[in-house]
Amino acid sequence: MHLTVGPNQFFWKADAWSAFYDQMAAAPVERVVLGELVCSKRLPFYQDRIPGAIETLLEAGKEVAVTSLALVTLKRERKLTAELVEAGVEVEVNDLTMLAYLPKDVPFSVGPLVNVYNEGTLAWLADRGATRICLPPELPLESVTALAAEGAKRGVTVEVWGHGRLPLAISGRCYHARLHKRTKDNCQFACEDDPDGLTVRTLEDQPFLAMNGVQTLSDSCASMANQLEVLNKAGVNALRLSPQTGDFLGVCQAWRDRIDGRIDAAALSDRLETLSGGMRLSDGFLTGARGADWSRAKEGEVA
């Protein structure tokens, strides 16, 4: 099982952004995907740091890819997306708009925000040049198993969301701006105050979701900590770890220890809970009754 660090979903200050990727050069992971996934308005604040980060990661022997934006509507966003072809590294397609610009002979990877639900779609993408697909987090184990088998048949590496708040929805509306009674065009970058997203609670004060600008995430931190054997058996090739603040290097190391057999599932879960500041873990999309469920929940706890 390989490890991929997915693109940062949040808005971090440029120096924090650079420091994170310097750290990732030393992380025990095979692959790093970087760039702006969620909101094109954030990009000017750190865009000039991207080439340097790519170089540092390549020198450290990582596979590197840049992500395309999750929702492309504006002319400026179309231009940014088209320019990714020139990035010098592989593109991870997270909105099919990218395929309108990618020449047919250029291999690419597909991110979790593209709807790959079945063998026919995987096959079409493979024919078009996809060499790697990170599946949508919503998929149950039966689908993951079928898609991993199809991927193996077609030489496509299949990756699954392994750790981090789940990207549940993307919108034209900015919820951080709405929360501050602003419009998206005058957002004043409210999302920058919440570098891991802002928890959304129910009226019973139960943590439920998290807002991140135009994106809505799960409050829980999805984790495949309890599913490694199952995913190995299903033929999954890689796990995606999604960046968060705090000791993310520790998150990568904990996963490496688990994959290399130094710790068991219980120890990994405990370490991840601590490293994620007590965030609740979930893996219900894969094996539970609903996405928010957690397979290691103790009796009486909210599953």
Residues numbered 152 to 181 that lie near another protein (CB under 8 A) are 166, 168-175, 177-179
Name which of 57 and 144 has its Cβ closer to another protein. Answer: 144
Answer for which of 115, 188, 232, 274 binds another protein (CB under 8 A) is 115
Closest to another protein by CB, 27 or 37? 37
Tally of CB atoms within 10 A around 281: 20
Q: Kindly state whether residue 204 participates in binding another protein, applying the rule CB under 8 A.
A: yes
- C-alpha distances (whole Å) from 113 to each of 6, 143, 190, 285, 298 are 12, 16, 24, 15, 31
- Of the ranges 57-65, 72-80, 242-250, 257-265, which one interacts with another protein (CB under 8 A)? 72-80
Q: Which of 48, 59, 105, 185 binds another protein (CB under 8 A)?
A: 185
Distance of CA 100 to the CA centre of its chain: 23
Q: If we measure between CA atoms, which residue out of 25, 7, 6, 8 comes closest to residue 192? A: 8
**Identity of the residue numbered 185:** D
Q: 263 near 257, Cβ under 8 Å?
A: yes
Restricted to residues 210-249, the positions that interact with another protein (CB under 8 A) are 211, 216, 218
188 is an interface residue for another protein by CB under 8 A: no
Tokens of 267: 């120890």
Nearer to another protein, 138 or 273 (CB): 138
Q: What burial letters (b/e) apply to 85-114, b meaning 16+ CB within 10 Å?
A: eeeebbbbbbbebbbebbeeeeebbbbbbb
- Closer by beta carbon to another protein, 4 or else 218: 218
Phi, psi of 286 (to 5 degrees): -75, -50
Binding of residue 105 to another protein (CB under 8 A):
no
CA distance from start to end of the chain: 27
Q: Which of 224, 268, 279, 292 binds another protein (CB under 8 A)?
A: 292
Closest distance of CB 31 from another protein, Å: 24
188 burial class (0-12, 13-18, 19+ CB within 10 angstroms)? exposed
Residue 104 in contact with another protein, rule: CB under 8 A: no
Q: Which position among 15, 16, 76, 124 is part of the footprint of another protein (CB under 8 A)? A: 124
Shortest approach of another protein to residue 208 CB, angstroms?
5
Q: How far is the CB of 297 from another protein (least distance, A)?
A: 13
